[in-house]
Chain A
Amino acid sequence: MKAYETVIGLEVHVELATKSKIFCGCTTQFGGDPNTHVCPVCSGMPGTLPVLNKQVVEFAMAAGLALNCSITQKCKFDRKNYFYPDLPKAYQISQLYLPICRDGGIEIETAAGKKTVRIHEIHMEEDAGKLVHDPWEDCTLVDYNRCGVPLIEIVSEPDMRSADEVIAYLEKLRLILQYLGVSDCKMQEGSLRADINLSIREVGAPEFGTRTEMKNMNSFKAIARAIEGERKRQIELLEYGRKVVQETRRWDDNKDTSFAMRSKEDAQDYRYFPEPDLPPIEISDEWLQTVKVRQPELRDEKMLRYEKEFDIPEYDALIITGSKHLADLFEETVALCGKPKEVSNWLMVETMRLLKEQEMEPEAISFTPAQLSALIKLVDGNKINRTVAKEVFEKIFKENVDPEEYVEKNGLGMVSDDGLLRSTIEQIIANSPQSVADYKSGKVKAMGFIVGQTMKEMKGKADPGMVNQIVKEMLDAL
């Protein structure tokens, strides 16, 4: 077999985190009963007209700046014409001739070191609706709730060579967009979707091979599998002397294979032309400057700041900033309790453990900075001991309990009642003659048994420092 190289470019669709849709006042909220987030405009009723949501332009500018693009200060929308039931106007308002951002790129880490993936352009457009097959009547049901949700489409150059590079690129992209606050990038809700353009060529070949486009992947794992599958399929074709056909394919993750989407009916002639219903956009230097000034701190800056400002290890900073949600949680909790190291510790150890155990993404964490901060304060104020704290944390993580209430209700407060501890220990010493004898004969370790028995008797709630001190004092006094 010859040596082949895989060439991959990505078209990433990102749903923007606006409250309302791109051209009307309907909510962008995910879910909702079918066709309840729809109005005459986004359902393309005759006579209706679009009015552009300003926030969409600013989010697109923010993304472009963070991805090192140049901003097209005179830009406009175009119509892309095609018939499909999820597109009620039979055209998508998008950008072809003057996309809002061009010529950017980001650096990714690969096995062979750093590498830049260039970004060809970013354009703004509207999302389409959702089609659901109805098995009872063997028809398709059309829900326009997603119609008109604002998207940016980030088009990369064909600069990636493996699934690993694609994942690295997507992860970096996702993190940047989340930090910017322009999208939540939830793949399972479709707010980040990647179409993969993939071709194969012999190593050293000057020209690209014929590419296919793959759609319909809803996780990084599926993307990796789809790339692997398509790579193999194309190499096999070439090895047997067959040709790769330029086509759009749909990845079926369950069957682990892709299918050509039937397209005989549709000539791919979108007949783009300038959208007459929307006047052009002119981005002044001042406007660009205000967006620049508002750009939030991105990951690399944040990592450096955490190390310096909070004195936490580089590795911890790397993990915490690896998720915007985690970083926000960290900073907000620190602001409440003033204990960066404690906060970082809870996130790095217990949180990570539970995420792994529950197979969750950090974005899915639902406890609040207030809850974690309250827990830290309980420990810090000797109200509960560390063993109890771990138990409480798990409850916070899984059930969102209020730590103070939970401790109170379940009587988990640390017992530091000197009289109670003394009488309990007295009893245990009286019932443990062997251990007492061992201690007296110089086996200091025997004290551990008495302490352990005491903690057990106190159901783990005793102040361990006090118990140690009283046990030693009483044994020595014997």
Chain B
Amino acid sequence: MKDLVKMSALEIGRMIKAKEITVLDAVKAQLEVIKQRDPEYHCFITVLEEEAYAQAAEVQKRIDAGELDDSPLAGVPMAVKDNICTKGVKTTCASKILYNFEPIYDATVIEKLKKAGAVIIGKTNMDEFAMGSTTETSHFGETKNPWDTSCVPGGSSGGSAAAVAAEEVFYALGSDTGGSIRQPASYCGVTGIKPTYGTVSRYGLIAYASSLDQIGTFGRNISDCAVALEVISGHDAKDSTSVSTESFQYTKALVDDVKGLRIGIPKDYLGAGLEEDVKESILKAAEIFRSKGAIVEEFELHSVDYAVPSYYVVACAEASSNLSRFDGVKYGYHSEKAEGLQEVYKNTRSEGFGNEVKRRMMIGAFVLSSGYYDAFYNKALKVRAIINDGFQKAFEKYDIILGPTAPETAPTLGESLSDPLKMYLSDIYTVSVNLAGLPAVSIPCGRDSKGLPIGMQLIGKHFGENEIIRAAYSFEQSVEYERPTAIAAEGKEDKSSGNQEEKSSPKKED
């Protein structure tokens, strides 16, 4: 049964429908692997064992009754980033300030998943309030990269990415504000997609930066990602920024054909700061696209260097406002040492938030404060407009934009924490996509000299998910999916020990 967890989400879904396995089989196998591997990787903040078994029974009934025939992922165990509200299930944002918080409602995406028969097996680790690129700022301890446990899994959705890579779940939800799905996907060697802003309802996603946040999916291939994204997409009357006019049928785009597809590579993405191994893999990927009939060109995107500063101003400003509600009065951590209202506020917040969150809230308060609004916040919004404009112009010439997801592969644990500015700069290729609200996917495209996965980013125009999904699918047909070395080896050990048993049994008969 253990080999079940190696399969794709779609394959498991198919097997359940075909009665080759039950939902319970899938859940059991998944929980077994979590028990075995999660102590090492720490992908989860909360594992929902009992709930998953209860859900499994219920979903099985619905499947047997034929209610979920149109739902390819029914019964497939999955995980949710811990900043997405799950009714009655702890949702912490990996922060002490919400260490005991149980939402009283389900996020819209959770409602949709439940309706589609998903089995939520746990809530994944992340950077506190999604602020970070390494999952090290989690109050509950860092997640480790399944490829190399001395390395970070990336962030902020590091728990979801690592869980998918480590085969602790078939697919997972993450959220992406400045690269928080794509970058950990790239570090962990899995696929992650962030859709166009407004595609997936943000209702129930605990906000970091409202104008940039978007929920997306992780999978071990683009098909799983696309199918899962289809489940959670669509207009939601509870989110005023969700769009009502688009139809979201991503599975149609799962075709191996990039003939005539116009792909642009920003020269600015291949310059200084980019690791040589990463650059090589990206150029190799470009060759693969070319060989499959796509038109690939380099071009100048401009203003790339201004994306990170603009992003941090917008994100920190919105965060400083969004995170003000955590004050020890209505929910979450409450400082016991406080006397008087002001101390309740200050002590609760000072004790409840970690350093990176505090730093960003202070930057946010500063850039909005009287006298600085125009020079910082308003300036950042203007830069944002120019960046968006640059993309719009590029999409007049190209269907998709190709580049690296991150300038380097996964750094070692602790390396980024000492220098926040360096961490911010590593978001250079991802943040502009959020500023412009574009869809983008990160897919594995090789490994560096240390053996760590490299991710390639495909950026689409607004609502151009189908183009990037098609390109990703097509690329996937030309490369092999690689399992983290240790996990692949574990499988071989299993097999070899099995072989030994086989060999030894005839010996016994001897």
Partners in one complex: yes
Interface set of B (CB-CB < 8 Å, partner A): 84-85, 91, 93, 98, 101, 103-105, 107, 202-207, 209-211, 237-241, 317-318, 320-321, 324-327, 329-331, 341-342, 345, 365, 368-370, 373, 377
Does the CB pair B101–A46 fall under 8 Å?
A: yes
| Neighbour of B329 across the interface among A45, A85, A265, A278, CB < 8 A | A85
Q: How far is the CB of A117 from chain B (nearest CB, A)?
A: 29
From residue 48 to 86 of chain A, which have CB atoms closer than 8 A to chain B? Answer: 48-52, 79, 81, 83, 85
Once the chains are docked, how many angstroms separate the CA of A265 from the CA of B342?
8
Q: How far is the CB of B283 from chain A (nearest CB, A)?
A: 38
Q: List 12 A-B contacts (CB under 8 A).
A: A47-B85, A47-B203, A48-B204, A51-B240, A81-B324, A140-B341, A271-B320, A271-B369, A271-B373, A272-B368, A272-B373, A273-B373
Q: Across chains A and B, which 9 residue pairs bring their CB atoms closest together, nearest first?
A: A90-B324, A271-B368, A276-B211, A276-B210, A46-B206, A47-B204, A47-B85, A47-B206, A269-B370
Name the residue in B210, B324, B331 with the highest tally of chain A Cβ atoms < 10 Å from its Cβ: B324
For B103, the chain A residues whose CB sits under 8 A away are: 45-47
Does the CB pair B369–A51 fall under 8 Å?
A: no
**Besides A88-B330, A276-B211, 11 other A-B contacts (C-beta < 8 A):** A43-B330, A44-B330, A49-B202, A49-B203, A49-B238, A50-B240, A83-B324, A271-B320, A271-B321, A276-B241, A279-B240
Once the chains are docked, how many angstroms separate the CA of A269 from the CA of B324?
14
Does the CB pair B241–A271 fall under 8 Å?
A: no
For A50, the chain B residues whose CB sits under 8 A away are: 240
For B373, the chain A residues whose CB sits under 8 A away are: 271-273
Does the CB pair A277–B210 fall under 8 Å?
A: yes
Interface of A is mostly: loop
Does the CB pair A49–B325 fall under 8 Å?
A: no
Q: How far is the CB of A132 from chain B (nearest CB, A)?
A: 15
Name the residue in B98, B240, B327 with the highest tally of chain A Cβ atoms < 10 Å from its Cβ: B240
Once the chains are docked, how many angstroms separate the CA of A269 from the CA of B209?
21
For B365, the chain A residues whose CB sits under 8 A away are: 271
Does the CB pair B325–A44 fall under 8 Å?
A: yes
CB of A452 within 8 A of chain B?
no
Q: How far is the CB of A2 from chain B (nearest CB, A)?
A: 35
Once the chains are docked, how many angstroms separate the CA of A45 from the CA of B87?
12
Interface residues contributed by chain A, number (CB under 8 Å) = 30
For B205, the chain A residues whose CB sits under 8 A away are: 47
Once the chains are docked, how many angstroms separate the CA of A85 from the CA of B340?
12
From residue 18 to 58 of chain A, which have CB atoms closer than 8 A to chain B? Answer: 40, 43-52
Does the CB pair A90–B325 fall under 8 Å?
A: yes
Does the CB pair B101–A49 fall under 8 Å?
A: no
CB of A339 within 8 A of chain B?
no
CB of A142 within 8 A of chain B?
yes
1/0 contact string of A269-288 vs chain B (CB within 8 Å): 10111001111000000000
Once the chains are docked, how many angstroms separate the CA of A351 from the CA of B145?
82
Given the interface contacts A47-B203, A85-B341, A277-B210, does A91 sit within 8 Å of B321 by beta carbon? yes
Does the CB pair B98–A46 fall under 8 Å?
A: yes
For A81, the chain B residues whose CB sits under 8 A away are: 320-321, 324, 368
For A40, the chain B residues whose CB sits under 8 A away are: 104-105
CB of A89 within 8 A of chain B?
yes
For A43, the chain B residues whose CB sits under 8 A away are: 330
Q: How far is the CB of A124 from chain B (nearest CB, A)?
A: 15
Q: What is the chain B residue whose CB lies nearest that of A275?
A: B210
Does the CB pair A45–B240 fall under 8 Å?
A: no
Does the CB pair A273–B317 fall under 8 Å?
A: yes
Name the residue in A79, A88, A278 with the highest tally of chain B Cβ atoms < 10 Å from its Cβ: A79
Name the residue in A85, A269, A276, A279 with the highest tally of chain B Cβ atoms < 10 Å from its Cβ: A276
Q: What is the chain A residue whose CB lies nearest that of B381?
A: A274
For B98, the chain A residues whose CB sits under 8 A away are: 46
| Neighbour of B368 across the interface among A45, A52, A273, A276, CB < 8 A | A273
Given the interface contacts A47-B103, A277-B240, does A142 sit within 8 Å of B329 by beta carbon? yes
Once the chains are docked, how many angstroms separate the CA of A269 from the CA of B240?
28
Does the CB pair B207–A47 fall under 8 Å?
A: yes
Q: What is the chain A residue whose CB lies nearest that of B369?
A: A269
From residue 423 to 450 of chain A, which have CB atoms closer than 8 A to chain B? Answer: none
Q: How far is the CB of A468 from chain B (nearest CB, A)?
A: 73
Once the chains are docked, how many angstroms separate the CA of A40 from the CA of B377?
30
For A79, the chain B residues whose CB sits under 8 A away are: 321
For A271, the chain B residues whose CB sits under 8 A away are: 320-321, 365, 368-370, 373
Q: How far is the CB of A209 from chain B (nearest CB, A)?
A: 23
Once the chains are docked, how many angstroms separate the CA of A273 from the CA of B238?
22
Once the chains are docked, how many angstroms separate the CA of A79 from the CA of B103?
24
